[in-house]
Amino acid sequence: MTMIRVNVAEARTHLSRYLKRVEHGETVVLCRRNVPVAEIRALPKPAREPRPVGIDRGMTLPAAFFEPLPDDLLAAFEGGGETT
């Protein structure tokens, strides 16, 4: 990865030129009187596919996972009693 140091006045004058370089993987370090103050770098590309459920990409959930909880377990979550 290439890093370019540019003073603010130069960056302001040629911003579109530096943004093209950023889009191609370079990083621009903005300087004020040759002292670095900020960095311009590309953002990560967004995911093209929705993330699968769970941490393991091959993970599958049984159909029972999506069924409603039993009444006694729901009551326990709501403070209405203990489960055995």
pTM value?
Answer: 0.54
Predicted pLDDT at 33: 94
> Would you call 7 helix, strand, or coil by DSSP?
strand
The CATH number of whichever domain residue 32 belongs to comes to 3.40.1620.10
55 vs 83, which has greater pLDDT?
Answer: 55
Strands 27-32 and 3-7: parallel
In a domain, 77, yes or no: no
Q: Is residue 35 part of a domain?
A: yes
> Using the 8-state DSSP alphabet, how is residue 2 labeled?
-
Rounded Cα gap, residues 64 and 76, in angstroms = 20
- Which residues are CB-contacts of 80 (< 8 A; sequence separation ≥ 6)? none
Once rounded to an integer, what is the mean pLDDT over residues 68-76?
A: 89
Residue 71 counted as domain residue? no
Give the count of domains, the chain: 1
> For residue range 20-61, what is the model confidence (pLDDT) as tens digits?
999 999 999 999 999 999 999 999 888 788 766 666 767 778
Q: Is residue 45 part of a domain?
A: no
